[in-house]
Amino acid sequence: MRKKILLTDIILKSYIPIFKIFFSVDTLWNKKKIIYSDYEALVVSGVFKIPQQFYEKLSNLKIISVFGVGFDNVNLNECKKNNILVANTPRVLTRDVADLALTLLLSISRNLFNAQKYVISKNWEKKGPMQLTDSVYNKKIGIVGLGKIGKEFAKKVKVFSTEICYFGPSKKNINYKYFNNLKKMAKFVDYLVITCPGGPKTNNLISAEIFKEMKKSAYLINVSRGNVIDEEAMLKCLKNKTIKGAALDVYNNEPKINQKFRKLNNVILHPHHGSGTYETRKLIAELSCNNIQNYFKTGKPLHKVNL
Protein backbone atom coordinates (compact mmCIF):
# COMPACT_ATOMS: atom_id res chain seq x y z
CA MET A 1 0.00 0.00 0.00
CA ARG A 2 1.31 3.43 -0.95
CA LYS A 3 2.26 5.91 1.73
CA LYS A 4 -0.05 8.91 1.95
CA ILE A 5 1.54 12.35 1.77
CA LEU A 6 0.10 15.86 2.02
CA LEU A 7 1.25 18.80 -0.11
CA THR A 8 0.49 22.05 1.66
CA ASP A 9 0.63 25.02 -0.70
CA ILE A 10 -0.32 25.76 -4.27
CA ILE A 11 3.26 26.53 -5.38
CA LEU A 12 3.61 22.73 -5.43
CA LYS A 13 0.67 22.15 -7.78
CA SER A 14 2.71 21.72 -10.97
CA TYR A 15 4.82 18.98 -9.35
CA ILE A 16 2.04 16.69 -8.12
CA PRO A 17 2.80 14.15 -10.92
CA ILE A 18 6.37 13.74 -9.62
CA PHE A 19 5.11 12.75 -6.17
CA LYS A 20 2.25 10.62 -7.53
CA ILE A 21 4.70 8.21 -9.15
CA PHE A 22 5.61 6.93 -5.68
CA PHE A 23 2.94 8.10 -3.22
CA SER A 24 -0.75 8.63 -2.68
CA VAL A 25 -0.99 12.43 -2.76
CA ASP A 26 -3.49 14.83 -1.23
CA THR A 27 -3.30 18.61 -1.40
CA LEU A 28 -4.26 21.00 1.35
CA TRP A 29 -5.67 23.62 -1.02
CA ASN A 30 -8.43 21.43 -2.48
CA LYS A 31 -9.01 18.80 0.21
CA LYS A 32 -12.28 19.62 1.93
CA LYS A 33 -11.79 17.35 4.90
CA ILE A 34 -8.34 16.51 6.22
CA ILE A 35 -7.91 13.27 8.16
CA TYR A 36 -4.60 14.25 9.66
CA SER A 37 -3.70 10.79 10.94
CA ASP A 38 -3.58 9.49 7.34
CA TYR A 39 -0.33 11.21 6.44
CA GLU A 40 3.20 10.05 7.11
CA ALA A 41 4.91 12.80 5.09
CA LEU A 42 4.31 16.50 4.61
CA VAL A 43 5.70 18.57 1.73
CA VAL A 44 5.93 22.32 2.38
CA SER A 45 7.42 25.23 0.50
CA GLY A 46 9.92 27.39 2.35
CA VAL A 47 7.33 30.11 2.84
CA PHE A 48 4.46 27.98 4.19
CA LYS A 49 4.28 28.60 7.93
CA ILE A 50 3.24 25.28 9.42
CA PRO A 51 0.33 25.86 11.85
CA GLN A 52 0.77 24.60 15.40
CA GLN A 53 -2.26 22.33 14.98
CA PHE A 54 -0.41 20.33 12.33
CA TYR A 55 2.18 19.17 14.85
CA GLU A 56 -0.62 18.20 17.21
CA LYS A 57 -2.95 16.50 14.71
CA LEU A 58 -0.53 14.78 12.32
CA SER A 59 -0.10 11.92 14.75
CA ASN A 60 1.56 9.57 12.22
CA LEU A 61 3.81 12.15 10.59
CA LYS A 62 7.36 10.84 10.12
CA ILE A 63 8.99 13.41 7.83
CA ILE A 64 8.59 16.99 6.62
CA SER A 65 10.19 17.54 3.23
CA VAL A 66 10.87 21.22 2.60
CA PHE A 67 10.59 22.30 -1.02
CA GLY A 68 13.67 24.56 -0.87
CA VAL A 69 16.67 25.21 1.35
CA GLY A 70 15.35 27.47 4.11
CA PHE A 71 13.43 25.72 6.89
CA ASP A 72 12.79 28.57 9.33
CA ASN A 73 9.05 28.00 8.71
CA VAL A 74 9.35 24.63 10.49
CA ASN A 75 9.24 24.44 14.29
CA LEU A 76 12.24 22.20 14.96
CA ASN A 77 11.42 21.95 18.67
CA GLU A 78 7.99 20.51 17.87
CA CYS A 79 9.60 18.13 15.37
CA LYS A 80 12.10 16.95 17.96
CA LYS A 81 9.34 16.47 20.52
CA ASN A 82 7.32 14.39 18.06
CA ASN A 83 10.31 12.60 16.49
CA ILE A 84 9.67 14.09 13.04
CA LEU A 85 12.57 14.28 10.60
CA VAL A 86 13.01 17.42 8.50
CA ALA A 87 14.70 17.37 5.09
CA ASN A 88 15.47 20.12 2.58
CA THR A 89 16.80 20.49 -0.97
CA PRO A 90 20.24 22.15 -0.96
CA ARG A 91 22.57 22.65 -3.94
CA VAL A 92 19.99 22.41 -6.73
CA LEU A 93 18.96 26.05 -6.36
CA THR A 94 22.39 27.52 -5.62
CA ARG A 95 23.15 28.82 -9.10
CA ASP A 96 19.75 30.39 -9.73
CA VAL A 97 19.68 32.23 -6.40
CA ALA A 98 23.25 33.45 -6.94
CA ASP A 99 22.24 34.56 -10.45
CA LEU A 100 19.36 36.54 -9.01
CA ALA A 101 21.61 38.18 -6.41
CA LEU A 102 23.89 39.35 -9.22
CA THR A 103 20.90 40.45 -11.32
CA LEU A 104 19.55 42.52 -8.43
CA LEU A 105 22.96 44.04 -7.78
CA LEU A 106 23.40 45.08 -11.41
CA SER A 107 19.81 46.28 -11.70
CA ILE A 108 19.95 48.59 -8.68
CA SER A 109 23.41 49.84 -9.66
CA ARG A 110 22.29 50.78 -13.17
CA ASN A 111 18.88 51.99 -11.93
CA LEU A 112 17.00 49.74 -14.36
CA PHE A 113 13.60 50.10 -12.72
CA ASN A 114 13.62 53.90 -12.93
CA ALA A 115 15.24 53.76 -16.38
CA GLN A 116 12.27 51.83 -17.73
CA LYS A 117 9.85 54.31 -16.17
CA TYR A 118 11.92 57.13 -17.68
CA VAL A 119 11.37 55.73 -21.17
CA ILE A 120 7.70 54.80 -20.71
CA SER A 121 6.81 58.22 -19.26
CA LYS A 122 8.46 59.89 -22.29
CA ASN A 123 10.87 61.75 -20.01
CA TRP A 124 13.66 60.63 -22.32
CA GLU A 125 11.96 62.51 -25.16
CA LYS A 126 11.19 65.55 -23.02
CA LYS A 127 14.27 65.85 -20.81
CA GLY A 128 16.99 64.00 -22.67
CA PRO A 129 19.40 61.50 -21.07
CA MET A 130 18.60 60.31 -17.56
CA GLN A 131 20.98 60.72 -14.63
CA LEU A 132 24.17 58.69 -14.53
CA THR A 133 24.32 55.41 -12.63
CA ASP A 134 26.99 53.37 -10.82
CA SER A 135 29.48 50.94 -12.31
CA VAL A 136 30.10 47.71 -10.41
CA TYR A 137 33.72 47.44 -11.58
CA ASN A 138 36.41 47.63 -8.88
CA LYS A 139 33.85 47.96 -6.08
CA LYS A 140 34.00 46.29 -2.67
CA ILE A 141 31.43 43.54 -2.14
CA GLY A 142 30.56 42.36 1.38
CA ILE A 143 28.83 38.98 1.58
CA VAL A 144 26.98 38.12 4.79
CA GLY A 145 27.11 34.32 4.96
CA LEU A 146 29.62 32.68 2.64
CA GLY A 147 27.80 29.37 2.23
CA LYS A 148 27.01 27.63 -1.05
CA ILE A 149 24.99 30.54 -2.44
CA GLY A 150 27.43 33.14 -1.13
CA LYS A 151 30.39 31.37 -2.74
CA GLU A 152 28.59 30.97 -6.07
CA PHE A 153 27.64 34.64 -6.04
CA ALA A 154 31.23 35.62 -5.20
CA LYS A 155 32.50 33.70 -8.24
CA LYS A 156 30.07 35.52 -10.50
CA VAL A 157 30.63 39.04 -9.17
CA LYS A 158 34.41 38.57 -9.13
CA VAL A 159 34.27 38.88 -12.95
CA PHE A 160 33.75 42.62 -12.43
CA SER A 161 37.21 43.00 -10.81
CA THR A 162 35.57 43.45 -7.42
CA GLU A 163 37.15 43.01 -4.01
CA ILE A 164 35.26 40.24 -2.22
CA CYS A 165 34.80 40.43 1.55
CA TYR A 166 32.71 38.23 3.79
CA PHE A 167 31.35 38.01 7.32
CA GLY A 168 30.48 34.78 9.09
CA PRO A 169 31.04 32.77 12.26
CA SER A 170 34.50 31.59 11.15
CA LYS A 171 37.20 32.26 8.59
CA LYS A 172 37.19 29.95 5.58
CA ASN A 173 40.06 28.59 3.53
CA ILE A 174 39.36 30.98 0.66
CA ASN A 175 41.17 33.96 -0.79
CA TYR A 176 38.64 36.63 0.20
CA LYS A 177 38.93 39.29 2.90
CA TYR A 178 37.38 38.03 6.15
CA PHE A 179 35.66 40.25 8.72
CA ASN A 180 34.67 38.89 12.12
CA ASN A 181 32.95 42.22 12.83
CA LEU A 182 29.90 43.00 10.71
CA LYS A 183 29.95 46.71 11.52
CA LYS A 184 33.48 47.03 10.17
CA MET A 185 32.59 45.22 6.96
CA ALA A 186 29.44 47.32 6.49
CA LYS A 187 31.56 50.45 6.77
CA PHE A 188 34.16 49.15 4.29
CA VAL A 189 32.06 47.86 1.39
CA ASP A 190 30.04 49.39 -1.44
CA TYR A 191 27.53 46.52 -1.56
CA LEU A 192 26.22 44.48 1.36
CA VAL A 193 24.84 41.20 0.00
CA ILE A 194 22.83 38.94 2.33
CA THR A 195 23.01 35.20 1.58
CA CYS A 196 23.01 33.72 5.11
CA PRO A 197 20.29 31.39 6.46
CA GLY A 198 17.22 32.83 8.17
CA GLY A 199 15.97 31.78 11.59
CA PRO A 200 16.44 32.98 15.18
CA LYS A 201 20.25 33.16 15.01
CA THR A 202 20.23 35.74 12.21
CA ASN A 203 17.05 37.60 13.16
CA ASN A 204 17.60 41.36 12.64
CA LEU A 205 21.30 40.72 12.02
CA ILE A 206 21.29 43.75 9.71
CA SER A 207 20.15 46.15 12.41
CA ALA A 208 19.92 49.93 12.68
CA GLU A 209 23.48 49.84 14.03
CA ILE A 210 24.71 48.17 10.85
CA PHE A 211 22.86 50.65 8.64
CA LYS A 212 24.54 53.51 10.50
CA GLU A 213 27.92 52.15 9.42
CA MET A 214 27.08 51.84 5.72
CA LYS A 215 28.27 54.44 3.23
CA LYS A 216 25.72 56.87 1.84
CA SER A 217 26.67 55.51 -1.60
CA ALA A 218 26.21 51.85 -0.56
CA TYR A 219 23.60 49.35 -1.72
CA LEU A 220 21.94 46.44 0.09
CA ILE A 221 20.97 43.17 -1.66
CA ASN A 222 18.95 40.46 0.12
CA VAL A 223 18.25 36.96 -1.27
CA SER A 224 18.23 35.32 2.17
CA ARG A 225 15.19 35.78 4.44
CA GLY A 226 13.27 38.93 5.32
CA ASN A 227 13.80 38.55 9.06
CA VAL A 228 17.59 38.90 8.67
CA ILE A 229 17.07 42.66 8.19
CA ASP A 230 15.46 45.12 10.58
CA GLU A 231 12.90 46.18 7.99
CA GLU A 232 11.83 49.42 9.67
CA ALA A 233 15.46 50.52 10.01
CA MET A 234 16.01 49.76 6.32
CA LEU A 235 12.89 51.64 5.24
CA LYS A 236 14.01 54.66 7.25
CA CYS A 237 17.44 54.58 5.59
CA LEU A 238 15.94 54.29 2.11
CA LYS A 239 13.47 57.11 2.74
CA ASN A 240 16.17 59.41 4.16
CA LYS A 241 18.69 58.22 1.54
CA THR A 242 21.34 57.41 4.13
CA ILE A 243 22.08 54.44 1.86
CA LYS A 244 21.73 54.72 -1.90
CA GLY A 245 19.38 51.83 -2.53
CA ALA A 246 18.30 48.24 -1.95
CA ALA A 247 17.27 45.29 -4.09
CA LEU A 248 15.21 42.67 -2.29
CA ASP A 249 13.84 39.22 -3.01
CA VAL A 250 12.58 38.57 0.53
CA TYR A 251 10.57 40.42 3.16
CA ASN A 252 8.88 40.11 6.51
CA ASN A 253 5.23 39.12 6.23
CA GLU A 254 5.39 37.77 2.68
CA PRO A 255 3.48 38.24 0.44
CA LYS A 256 1.84 41.17 2.26
CA ILE A 257 4.86 43.44 2.22
CA ASN A 258 5.14 46.72 4.11
CA GLN A 259 3.24 49.43 2.20
CA LYS A 260 6.11 51.88 2.74
CA PHE A 261 8.13 50.03 0.09
CA ARG A 262 5.67 51.15 -2.58
CA LYS A 263 6.47 54.82 -1.99
CA LEU A 264 10.22 54.47 -2.58
CA ASN A 265 12.07 54.94 -5.86
CA ASN A 266 15.44 53.62 -4.68
CA VAL A 267 14.44 50.01 -4.11
CA ILE A 268 13.87 47.05 -6.45
CA LEU A 269 11.24 44.59 -5.21
CA HIS A 270 11.28 40.98 -6.39
CA PRO A 271 8.64 38.45 -5.21
CA HIS A 272 10.77 35.81 -3.39
CA HIS A 273 11.55 34.00 -6.59
CA GLY A 274 15.26 33.23 -6.37
CA SER A 275 14.82 29.60 -7.41
CA GLY A 276 11.95 30.47 -9.73
CA THR A 277 13.06 28.89 -12.99
CA TYR A 278 11.33 25.96 -14.67
CA GLU A 279 14.51 23.90 -14.57
CA THR A 280 15.40 24.45 -10.92
CA ARG A 281 11.89 24.07 -9.54
CA LYS A 282 11.62 20.68 -11.23
CA LEU A 283 14.93 19.62 -9.64
CA ILE A 284 13.71 20.83 -6.24
CA ALA A 285 10.51 18.79 -6.61
CA GLU A 286 12.46 15.67 -7.56
CA LEU A 287 14.86 16.04 -4.63
CA SER A 288 12.01 16.76 -2.23
CA CYS A 289 10.32 13.57 -3.43
CA ASN A 290 13.59 11.61 -3.22
CA ASN A 291 14.06 12.72 0.38
CA ILE A 292 10.77 11.07 1.30
CA GLN A 293 11.48 7.98 -0.80
CA ASN A 294 14.87 7.50 0.76
CA TYR A 295 13.46 7.93 4.25
CA PHE A 296 10.87 5.18 3.76
CA LYS A 297 13.48 2.87 2.20
CA THR A 298 16.42 3.45 4.55
CA GLY A 299 15.18 5.49 7.50
CA LYS A 300 17.20 8.50 6.31
CA PRO A 301 16.33 11.29 3.87
CA LEU A 302 19.05 12.40 1.46
CA HIS A 303 19.38 15.81 3.14
CA LYS A 304 18.47 15.81 6.83
CA VAL A 305 18.46 19.06 8.82
CA ASN A 306 17.48 17.83 12.31
CA LEU A 307 17.57 14.89 14.74
Q: Which residues contact 116 (CB under 8 A, 6 or more apart)?
A: none
Residue-wise pLDDT tens digits, 270-283: 999 999 999 999 99
Catalytic choice (95, 231, 270, 272): 272
For residue 270, indicate whether it is catalytic.
no
For residue 286, indicate whether it is catalytic.
no
Asked if 251 and 258 touch (Cβ cutoff 8 Å), the reply is yes
Residue-wise pLDDT tens digits, 189-219: 999 999 999 989 999 999 999 999 999 999 9
Asked if 108 and 245 touch (Cβ cutoff 8 Å), the reply is yes
Catalytic choice (163, 213, 254, 286): 254
The predicted pLDDT at position 307 comes to 65
Give which of 215, 194, 185 is closest to 144, Cα–Cα: 194
Residue 46 confidence (pLDDT) above 90: no
Architecture of domain 4-92+277-298: 3-Layer(aba) Sandwich (3.40)
Domain ranges (residues) in the chain: 4-92+277-298, 94-269
Residue-wise pLDDT tens digits, 127-168: 999 999 999 999 999 999 999 999 999 999 999 999 999 999
For residue 225, indicate whether it is catalytic.
yes
Domains 4-92+277-298 and 94-269 fall in the same CATH topology: yes
Catalytic choice (40, 152, 225, 281): 225
Give which of 199, 193, 206 is closest to 237, Cα–Cα: 206
Architecture of domain 94-269: 3-Layer(aba) Sandwich (3.40)
